[in-house]
Amino acid sequence: MSGPLTIFDKPNSYIGKPVDRPDAKRLLQGRGKFVDDIQLPRMVHGAFVRSPVAHGRILSIDLEEARGVPGVIAVYTGADLAEHVTPYVGVLSHLAGLRSAPQMPLAVDVVRWTGEPVVMIVATSRAVAEDAAALVYVDIEELPVATDMERALEPDAPVIHPDFGSNLAWERTVEVGDPDAAFARDDVTVVERTFRFGRHTGVTLEARASVVEYDPSEDQLTCHYSGQAPHMMQYIFAKHLGLAEENVRVISNDVGGSFGIKIHTYGDEIATAAAAKLLGRPVKFVADRLESFLTDIHARDHVVHGRIAVTQEGKIEALAFDDITGIGPYSMYPRTSAIEANQVLNLTGAPYALENYRANAKVVFQNKNLMCQYRAVGHPIAMAVADGLLEDAAAEIGMDVVEIRRRNLVKDDAYPCVSATGMKLDDLSHHKTLDLLIETMDYDAKRAEHAALREQGIHRGLGLVSMIEVTNPSPMFYGIGGAPIASQDGATIRLDAGGAIHVSSSVTEQGQGTNTILAQVAAGVFGVDMDRVKVTTGDTKTTPYGGGTWASRGAGIGGEATLQAAFALKEQVLDVAAVILQAKVEGLDIIAGHVCDTDGTQRMSLSDLARTVYYRGNELPSDMSPELVATRHYRVSDFPFVFTNAAMAAEVEVDPETGFVKVLNVWAVEDCGRVINPKLVDEQIRGGVVQGIGGAFYEECIYSEDGQLENATMADYLVPMAFEMPDITVAHVETPTKTSVLGAKGAGEAGTGGAPAALMNAVNDALRPLGASIHQMPMTPERILRALGTV
Amino acid sequence: MSDSKMISVTVNGETTTAAVPVRQNLVDFLRNTMGLTGSHVGCEHGVCGACTLEVDGAMVRGCLMLAVQADGTQVTTIEGYGDRAAALRDAFTARNALQCGYCTPGMLASAVEYIEGGGAADRAAIREHLSGNYCRCTGYQSIVDAVCDVIDGASA
Ligand code: FES
Ligand code: FES
């Protein structure tokens, strides 16, 4: 390295350091502030009567007895709230042809999924509200259901929204090159598979929760909200409850897990806000676990028929697939449920140089809970299909799975380039990550070990995935489609009289460590110690306007805004310091809370400087009016997304007697650009991998044919527990994105998006010598045994 | 439907007498009546472990015990662990063994139980012991690391 020190290698930089999270202390003392911890004077509680059937016409609702329960304050039906809330429709204009029906917070006339809220009871306690809810009698005439997404498209299927004529919500086809000709060539091997991805859900440990208060004297609605996108919710509450946007404040303090579940608009939450407004008093609604399973958005639910053609040399000549995904009876508002299928079209095979590609996606209405964005939107499907087909093809032509990847992955020096589906890609490192992965896992030794173990009847397998990950979305994601979702974020940094700095940012914290990395960036760039930085996020009243946290954008977008604001504040401070110290600005710096000469000699403390500005302005020239506060906003502009990449591998042992699969190892090599805090990034990836393991082996929302969710308790819906989880090895390649100074991309989706593919490939590697294979997730013991033909 | 009964319970060393609905569970009583919101609720059916706390020296699920059953007992919540959890709190911080922190109070309670019970720095045993506590954010590994760190530190 030569040249002057940069912000990344200066002695007072925190970027790249594994610093502890300052907010851990609070959480470890039980002093977190989650929504359900809030108690307000005169606060009342909401509970809901929910539809017991998947499809039906509401004939009558008898509220008589419920109203008579002592402690009941109000009872609302769908018709009652329809007078106070405008309907919402989950479509985006750039997803041409996407359709959805207007939705109301509580069902009006027709119920369309089991668990849809029908009546809201507000009472002095949740227990009383539930007592009353149990006394509501809703007479429902059951209608035929469309639950199976493939059958829902058949001409004789019951149509959920009769005006639409069919259950097709959206369809998109992408075609590049001439896939038919490529598949027809006689020098290629064609592998064809059907993949099934069950529904699963977020199971945030803290359920969805809100406490909404309304002050009629000022027409002010304040929502304490367990969510990820406060400014989006501010707009939604204002628009649909008829309030001025500036009179709505959304506060998201500690959030107990989100994973994309908490970026959507839920009827029970809008109803809670409406009730608060109607009653003029605080209303709390916290979903119980049953309500979470029934109504938190579900994810995945795809059937994909895929084909790949490879030459004997392992070159991919064509990739094609048809995806059907079931989204429930509506497209979720405001992000839409079509985004996942769209991502599948965009991402499948994107790490590879593809000339011939065809993909079709059909997004289908059905009488199940709504399906929408959850961590790693579309990624697990895209990665499992492409890399599943690729590894199966490798086996067919007798090529090693690493070798076939090396022959097809886009070269690390080929960027910028455009993927088959037109995605602009830059700063990716598929080969470097793959090489590091092979080295980290000691690939050849593992292969040899497995071969030896197979002789002893032990069935182990290795599976890999090379993936790209969508992060740092630009306005081309939602803004272009007309959704009230900001892709830019802002940061305000001010120097306080005591010499500390205060950062206020529109990105939010749900445990991933946003507040810490913002503090790291601000402290290092501006020049104070970490403990002199206070960070505020999650409050529409006090933070700059922005998108919040979703699609792995906190560090990449919020971090860059913070970096730019810190530069700007530093410039202001040094301008004042130069005048006070009679020095040249270029000769000054800020290190460890002091204005210094560039050689490090301390000249004055920041608190001295700030006190002079704030209290003793008389000491400054009269034409000088310093501002010790700066705001900067940042958005990605030249790319629709800043993609990242990763290579992962899994090692499993399959027990053919029981169908149980033990995950022995997962290795992940990620390139998320500049790593701001390795400790936090590694845990993001591990947490993501474990959610991926959940999707691959355990988690599934199981519906009966008539649309009943049959495993809506934590005892019946399996999630990964400490005992079954392996240790997960994480390593990094750092290719900073050129779109920002900070160079950070996201790291939140990788594990969840990539691990399932690696795991399925590993299981198939173990099953192959037994003449079996599986292409359905979760890979339950029963399904493994079915694949083996033993049940 | 909401009959009440007087109970007297010592929570984190402080004795309180209160009228509680007989159907109220202990964790709701602690959170809503006592204002001790450190114990969390994740499922209210005894599966997730978020509500884990100590009653008369034994670990219980705060959601599976009624407040009236706690009459006359000594209850310790996350707010009352004090020095008993100090080393674990440091290790959790150093290992980033928490993200959203929602599972953390219950996780700490279970980890304290393991360590005070003489548990070894054996990863499989620790994983097994913590298997009643869901964490949806971390991959559990950092939690296991943190518990090992404390045990290794204590035995060193
Ligand atoms: S809330 Fe008690 S175990 Fe989940
Ligand atoms: S840290 Fe979020 S559930 Fe454990």
Q: How far is the CA of B138 from the centre of ligand 2 (A)?
A: 6
User: What's the mean pLDDT in B48-63?
Assistant: 97
Residue in B32, B131, B137 closest to A257 by CB: B137
Residue A306: CB atoms within 10 A of its CB come to 24
A289 touches chain B (CB under 8 A): yes
What residues 20-59 of chain B have any CB closer than 8 A to a CB of chain A?
A: 21, 23-24, 31-32, 35-45, 47-48, 50
Q: What is the pLDDT of residue A456?
A: 97
By the 8 A CB rule, do A91 and A161 touch?
A: no
A·B CB contacts under 8 A? 177
A456 touches chain B (CB under 8 A): no
Name the nearest CA neighbour of A730 among A692, A682, A762, A688. Answer: A682
Cα dihedral sign, A748-A754-A758-A764: positive
Nearest C-alpha in B relative to A131: B1
Any idea which architecture A378-476+639-788 has in CATH? 2-Layer Sandwich (3.30)
- The fold adopted by the segment(s) A35-143+205-258+261-295 is Aldehyde Oxidoreductase; domain 3 (3.90.1170)
Helices within A22-83 (DSSP H only): 24-28, 64-67, 78-82
B86 touches chain A (CB under 8 A): no
Q: How far is the CA of A260 from the centre of ligand 2 (A)?
A: 15
Q: Which atom of ligand 2 is nearest to the CA of B136?
A: 3
A692 touches chain B (CB under 8 A): no
CB contact under 8 A, B100 and A206: yes
Common-topology check for domains A7-32+488-634 and A378-476+639-788: yes
A714 touches chain B (CB under 8 A): yes
CB contact under 8 A, B93 and A25: yes
pTM of the model: 0.96
Q: What is the pLDDT of residue A638?
A: 80
The domain limits of chain A are 7-32+488-634, 35-143+205-258+261-295, 378-476+639-788
Q: What is the mean pLDDT of chain B?
A: 96
DSSP secondary-structure letter at A719? -
Beta bridge partners of A215: A220
By the 8 A CB rule, do B129 and B114 touch?
A: yes
Q: Which atom of ligand 2 is nearest to the CA of A204?
A: 3
Nearest CA to ligand 1 atom 3: B46
pLDDT tens digits, A464-504: 999 999 988 878 777 778 888 888 899 999 999 999 999 99
Alpha-carbon distance of B88 to B80, in angstroms, equals 14
Query: Would you call A456 exposed, middle or buried from its count of C-beta atoms within 10 A (0-12, 13-18, 19+)?
Result: exposed
Name the nearest CA neighbour of A470 among A435, A413, A421. Answer: A421
Cα dihedral sign, A95-A101-A105-A106: negative
Q: Where are the beta strands (DSSP E) in A719-788?
A: 728-732, 776-777
With both helix axes pointing from N to C terminus, report the angle between B141-155 and B86-95 in degrees, rounded to the nearest 10: 130
Best residue among B44, B60, B104 to mutate for probing ligand 1's pocket (most ligand atoms within 8 Å of CB) is B44
Residue A660: CB atoms within 10 A of its CB come to 15
Q: What is the pLDDT of residue A164?
A: 97
Alpha-carbon distance of B21 to B1, in angstroms, equals 9
Task: Say which ligand is closest to the CA of B103.
Answer: 2
User: What's the mean pLDDT in B24-48?
Assistant: 97
pLDDT tens digits, A93-109: 888 899 999 999 999 99
By the 8 A CB rule, do A122 and A276 touch?
A: no
Q: What is the pLDDT of residue B12?
A: 98
Structure tokens at A130: 């539930």
Query: Would you call A743 exposed, middle or buried from its count of C-beta atoms within 10 A (0-12, 13-18, 19+)?
Result: buried
Any idea which architecture B82-152 has in CATH? Orthogonal Bundle (1.10)
pLDDT-flagged residues of chain A (< 50): 1
Structure tokens at B111: 């980890």
The domain limits of chain B are 4-80, 82-152
Find out whether the beta carbon of B98 lies less than 6 Å from any atom of ligand 2.
Answer: yes
Structure tokens at A375: 């961590």
Structure tokens at A696: 């691959």
Q: How far is the CA of A708 from the centre of ligand 1 (A)?
A: 24
Q: Where are the beta strands (DSSP E) in A312-455?
A: 316-326, 357-364, 417-418, 424-425
Q: How far is the CA of A16 from the centre of ligand 2 (A)?
A: 24
DSSP annotation string for B67-114: GGGGTT-EEE-GGG-GGGGHHHHHHHHHHT--SS-SSHHHHHHHHHHH
With both helix axes pointing from N to C terminus, report the angle between A379-397 and A339-347 in degrees, rounded to the nearest 10: 30
Q: What is the pLDDT of residue A637?
A: 86
Q: Which SS3 state, helix, strand or coil, does residue A27 take?
A: helix
CB contact under 8 A, A205 and B134: yes
Cα B117–Cα B121–Cα B126 angle in degrees, nearest 5: 70
**CATH number at B4-80:** 3.10.20.30
Instruction: Show Cβ contacts of residue B86 under 8 Å, excluding neighbours closer than 6 positions.
Output: none
Distances (CA, A) of A267 to A240, A291, A701: 11, 12, 21
Beginning with the edge strand found earlier in the chain, give each strand of the sheet holding A298-311 in spatial order.
A168-176, A357-364, A316-326, A298-311, A188-201, A776-777
Structure tokens at A287: 């979903």
B-interface mutation test, from A23, A28, A292, most B Cβ less than 10 A away: A28
- The fold adopted by the segment(s) A7-32+488-634 is Aldehyde Oxidoreductase; domain 4 (3.30.365)
Q: What is the pLDDT of residue A728?
A: 98
What phi and psi, each to the nearest 5 degrees, are found at residue A397? -95, 0
Q: Which atom of ligand 1 is nearest to the CA of B48?
A: 4
Instruction: Show Cβ contacts of residue A271 under 8 Å, excluding neighbours closer than 6 positions.
Output: A46, A48, A76, A81, A85, A105, A106, A117, A120, A285
Over its C-alpha atoms, chain B yields an Rg (Å, rounded) of 16
Residue in A511, A720, A727 closest to B99 by CB: A511
pLDDT tens digits, A707-755: 999 999 999 999 999 999 999 999 999 999 999 999 999 888 999 999 9
Beta bridge partners of B13: none
Q: What is the pLDDT of residue A4?
A: 61
Q: What is the pLDDT of residue B155?
A: 47
Q: What is the pLDDT of residue A11?
A: 67
